[in-house]
Structure 1
Amino acid sequence: MQQRKLGADGPMVSAVGYGAMSFADFYGPATEEGSMAILDACVELGVTHVDTANVYGNGRSETWLGKWLKARGGRPPFAIATKVGIQRDPERRFNNDPDHMREQLDGSLQRLGVEAIDLYYVHRRDTAHEIEDVTETLASFVKAGKVKAIGYSEIAPSSLRRAAAIHPIAAVQSEYSLATRAPELGLVQACQELGAALVAFSPVGRGLLTDRPHSLEACRTMGFMKNNPRFVEPNHSANLAYNAKFRALAADMGVAAASLAIAWLLKQGEHVLPIPGTRSVKHLKECVAGAEMDLTDGDMARIESVLPVGWCHGDRYNAEQWEAPERYC
């Protein structure tokens, strides 16, 4: 497994990490046994970066990760990232209040069973608090020794620069894949300029960039997917038609489609770190195999020819899902 830095002064971690949102029921039922098997596979495959959040499964993702770490004993084999900023009690809202963030940090530390979190993100910005003030709160966690580095999820380049003027930002997490190219409008460049990692979630396009994309019937059973513009008709059928071209190209190259999608992302810059999430060890292995590929300029041109910029039908979020993430402008 090739290694990349998690921020300018951060640790070296595997180029491909793991997104533990899959320990919640976001894309279908998750089991504790299956989640433990995924973590075992991460160790075997050399994955050393695991990403979670306090709201994934209402704390279940952190709890299961903490239980696995305790059972394994010794020094954690992962750089662990988690997040704060989304509150679901009594209703879903965004909360960057310092007291809330401090309370939630202590809860995450307890569930994970660690003394300090390697990377702590603000999951979503609460516009009632200026980003400079939120960054000061995060910096206080670093000073207290509870957090080693800080980051933001789904922010624009302009916000990143404002935050970085207060304290070094180790990483920005954003959706980035062959199906979602918006980060190339400034975020990829700003992260590189400021020494921040760009941690790419949904790097295989929520299944679109795999050999086994979700059927329309399956999408209708998933809370997020059933109302997402890319996974309803007529967009779903149009996207699967494009996926067929990509799957054919991957087959011609002798690799899984997911491997090729990950390899393309890794080629976008040494600071880009994909974190695929899955409940399948087989799929995890396909994603990790992308780190073993070294695509040529010719390979990249072939990929772009079957999946040109803007090929994906439908926005990546519907109006409600777009409530917090900052568009790239």
Structure 2
Amino acid sequence: MKQRRLGKSNVGAIGFGTMSFGGIFGATDNATSLACLDAAVDAGISHFDTADIYGMGVSEQIIGTWGRQSIHLATKCGILNGPPRTVRNDEAYIRQCLEGSLRRLKREHVDLYYIHRRQPDVPIEELAGTMGRLIAEGKIGGYGLSEIAPATLRRAHAEYPVTAVQNEYSLWTRLPELGLLQTCRDLGVAFVAFSPLARGMFGRAPLKRDFREGIDFRDTNPRFVEPNLSANLAAIARFRDLCAARGWTVAGAALAWVLAQGDHIIPIPGTRTADHLGDWQVPELTAADMAEIQRILPVGFAHGDRYGDHQLAYVERYC
């Protein structure tokens, strides 16, 4: 697999997101998750991403059980699940969360530590100072911010250099193109794209509305609620036809498109099973391919917002 820069390290151009190990999209088990992690390494993936809130520690525990020390590992803190869901960015809480994550991960150090959501009343410079102290103490290799605006990134980076920003980005979520991708590039910050396969919409088969009520994030997400879901499936069906005609997997083509948007972008798709990793082989997209994808799925094609009002808390909006 080709390499991309993430802080001081070179990592595989495609990373691995482990949110699904916590059961948010469906049932899983440790043996299946461990086999999936092994298969990811065999496929050339070296950067793995988790968080303390994924399954309330379950995802981190699985990675700790796995025990691979040679991987590049990121985790996150800052979201309190509630109810109601809220956030904390004070230093005492961040240190408490980090110690818990390191214990579950069975590590003394994590390569990258994100603030999962920003607490508005904690100055970003104060937060950057906290993360800088953790770096100086050898607890973390670098720090990142998630779901933030370009202005927040510039302020944090001026206080203490940011390693990575993690925001949603895919063929159907294009907001980062309105300043965040450019700011990351200009500052030398990696942009880690979560949900690059649109929460399963660019998976092997068209999604069916059989989400687990009250558990699956998509059950109340506007893009997965009718009539938006049917409209989105119809639009993406044309992309599926293009992939079939070109001999691409749908997931591979969607990842290739994300990768083509900048050398500083690292997508982190996720899966619960090793079987889907074979779909992540990325084709070389020509200029003609990119133009055809743009024609089929123009910017802004998605029906519905990427989050509902109940899911937007502490997500920075800047356009």
Partner Cα separation in structure 1 for residue 207 and residue 124 of structure 2: 37
Q: Secondary structure at the match of 2:166?
A: strand
TM-score (norm 1): 0.94
Structure 1 segment 280-319 matched on structure 2, within 5 A: 280-287=273-280, 289-290=281-282, 293-319=283-309
Shift of 1:247: 0.4
Q: Secondary structure at the match of 1:13?
A: strand
Alignment of 1:207 with 2:200, yes or no, is yes
Partner of 1:245: 238
Partner of 1:43: 41
Partner Cα separation in structure 2 for residue 226 and residue 283 of structure 1: 22
Q: Secondary structure at the match of 1:320?
A: helix
Shift of 1:207: 1.2
Structure 1 segment 263-282 matched on structure 2, within 5 A: 263-282=256-275
Alignment of 1:141 with 2:134, yes or no, is yes
Shift of 1:97: 1.3
Partner of 1:65: 63
Partner of 2:113: 120
Partner Cα separation in structure 2 for residue 277 and residue 328 of structure 1: 27
CA contact (8 A) 1:23 1:56 kept: yes
Partner of 1:6: 6
Alignment of 1:261 with 2:254, yes or no, is yes
Alignment of 1:161 with 2:139, yes or no, is no
Partner of 2:51: 53
CA contact (8 A) 2:204 2:279 kept: no
Alignment of 1:16 with 2:7, yes or no, is no
Q: Bigger CA drift: 139-148 or 212-221? A: 212-221
Partner of 1:88: 81
Q: Secondary structure at the match of 1:159?
A: helix
Q: Secondary structure at the match of 1:216?
A: coil
CA contact (8 A) 1:219 1:231 kept: no
The amino acid that maps onto 2:57 is G
CA contact (8 A) 1:183 1:328 kept: no
Q: Secondary structure at the match of 2:210?
A: helix
Q: Secondary structure at the match of 1:173?
A: strand
Q: Secondary structure at the match of 1:50?
A: strand
Partner Cα separation in structure 2 for residue 104 and residue 315 of structure 1: 31
Partner of 2:310: 320
Partner Cα separation in structure 2 for residue 178 and residue 89 of structure 1: 32
Partner of 1:107: 100
Shift of 1:184: 0.3
Q: Secondary structure at the match of 1:81?
A: strand
Partner Cα separation in structure 1 for residue 214 and residue 198 of structure 2: 18
Partner of 2:24: 26
CA contact (8 A) 1:263 1:295 kept: yes
Per-residue displacement from partner, 1:10-65 (whole Å, max 9, x unpaired)? 20000001001011111111211111011110111010000000111111111110
Shift of 1:243: 1.2
What is the identity percentage for the equivalent residue pairs of Structure 1 and Structure 2? 49
5+ unaligned residues in a row in structure 1: which ranges?
A: none
Which of residues 235, 238, 257 is equivalent to 2:228? 235
Partner Cα separation in structure 2 for residue 122 and residue 27 of structure 1: 23
Partner Cα separation in structure 2 for residue 220 and residue 243 of structure 1: 24
Structure 1 stretches (4+) deviating beyond 2 angstroms? 88-92, 217-223
5+ unaligned residues in a row in structure 2: which ranges?
A: none
Partner Cα separation in structure 1 for residue 186 and residue 235 of structure 2: 33
CA contact (8 A) 2:33 2:273 kept: no
Shift of 1:77: 2.9
Partner of 1:132: 125
The amino acid that maps onto 1:172 is V
The amino acid that maps onto 1:179 is W
Q: Bigger CA drift: 209-218 or 247-256? A: 209-218
Partner Cα separation in structure 2 for residue 91 and residue 269 of structure 1: 37
Partner Cα separation in structure 2 for residue 100 and residue 213 of structure 1: 41
CA contact (8 A) 1:67 1:112 kept: yes
CA contact (8 A) 1:209 1:246 kept: no
Partner Cα separation in structure 1 for residue 27 and residue 14 of structure 2: 24
CA contact (8 A) 1:182 1:328 kept: no
